[in-house]
Structures are given as C-alpha cells and as structure tokens.
C-alpha cells in the first residue's frame, strides 16, 4: 500500500467510524430507553462512543496527512483543518460527558446527537471529503 493509499484509508476509516457511530446513536436515541433499562444495548452504545472518540483523536493529523500525500497545496486547507481539529475536540468533550455516566439513556444520546459540536464535525467531514473526492 502506498503512502497516499495509507493516508487515504486512515482518513476514510476515521470518517466511516464517526458516521457509523452517529447512525447508531440516531437508532439508539429513538428507542427511548431509560438509563436503568439500557442493558446490553447501552454497552453497545458505550462501545460506539469509545470507537468514535478514538477516531476523533487524531482526525486533524489524518486530514493533514491525506492532503499532503495527495500533493495538494495545504495552505488553503490549513485554516479549515484547524476548524476540524477544534470541532473534533469539542465533540470529544461531549462524548466524554456521556461516557462518564454509569448508564447511557436514549435521551442522553439524543442530546448528544443534537449537540452542535457533533453536527458541526459531521458537516466538516462531509465538506472536506467532497472537496478531496476527485483528487
């Protein structure tokens, strides 16, 4: 696997993990489970949250690596990568609050889904992915 392929697959794996987690969160939130009845599904939610958090951890580095290995002038992208890093940090902070709970209710996850931090991050990823799609 070449360096660009590695950078591309790392970036897309992170994005896929984040999007998959968000889709799970939407389904989980719709179940209306109170924290004390979340059980195994709550544990699954916790696992998605942990995977999402891990994918967010170095999203800025993955974005930089992809753009650099594609041979694109990074200067116009650098400020937007800073936005991605900030939004990823803010989304991770919200995820940390949810993970800190002993049980995860559907309402808590619904509030996470509604968080502007997570939504902004997803929009960032859609934008950068589309901008780089044909590169």
pLDDT, one tens digit for every residue, the chain (135 residues): 555 689 999 999 999 999 999 999 999 999 887 765 556 777 899 999 999 999 999 999 999 999 999 999 999 999 999 999 999 999 999 999 999 998 898 999 999 999 999 999 999 999 999 999 877
The confidence score (pLDDT) of residue 4 equals 60
The confidence score (pLDDT) of residue 134 equals 79
Radius of gyration of the chain (CA): 16
Structure tokens at 19: 């999007």
Domain residue limits at 110: 3-132
- With a CB cutoff of 8 Å and minimum separation 6, the contacts of 38 are 45, 103, 104, 105, 106
The confidence score (pLDDT) of residue 37 equals 59
Contact between residue 88 and residue 54 where contact means Cβ atoms under 8 Å apart: no
Give the number of domains in the chain: 1
**Chain center to CA of 38:** 23
Closest CA to 54 of 106, 115, 95: 95
The confidence score (pLDDT) of residue 36 equals 58
Structure tokens at 56: 């967010």
The confidence score (pLDDT) of residue 62 equals 96
Mind listing the pLDDT tens digit for each residue in 96-134?
A: 999 999 889 899 999 999 999 999 999 999 999 999 987
| CA 38 – CA 79 distance, rounded (Å) | 41
Count CA atoms within 13 Å of residue 5 on its CB side. 2
- Rounded to two decimals, what is the model's pTM? 0.89
């Amino acid at each position: 696997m070449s360096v660009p392929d590695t950078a591309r697959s790392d970036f897309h794996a992170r994005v896929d993990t984040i999007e998959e987690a968000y889709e799970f969160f939407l389904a989980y939130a719709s179940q209306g489970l109170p924290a004390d009845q979340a059980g195994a599904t709550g544990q699954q939610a916790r696992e998605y949250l942990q995977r999402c958090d891990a994918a967010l951890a170095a999203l800025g580095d993955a974005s930089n690596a992809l753009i650099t290995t594609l041979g694109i002038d990074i200067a116009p992208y650098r400020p937007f990568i800073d936005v991605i890093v900030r939004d990823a940090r803010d989304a991770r902070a919200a995820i940390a609050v949810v993970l800190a709970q002993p049980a995860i209710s559907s309402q808590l996850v619904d509030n996470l889904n509604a968080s502007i931090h997570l939504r902004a991050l997803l929009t960032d990823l859609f934008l950068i992915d589309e901008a780089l799609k044909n590169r």
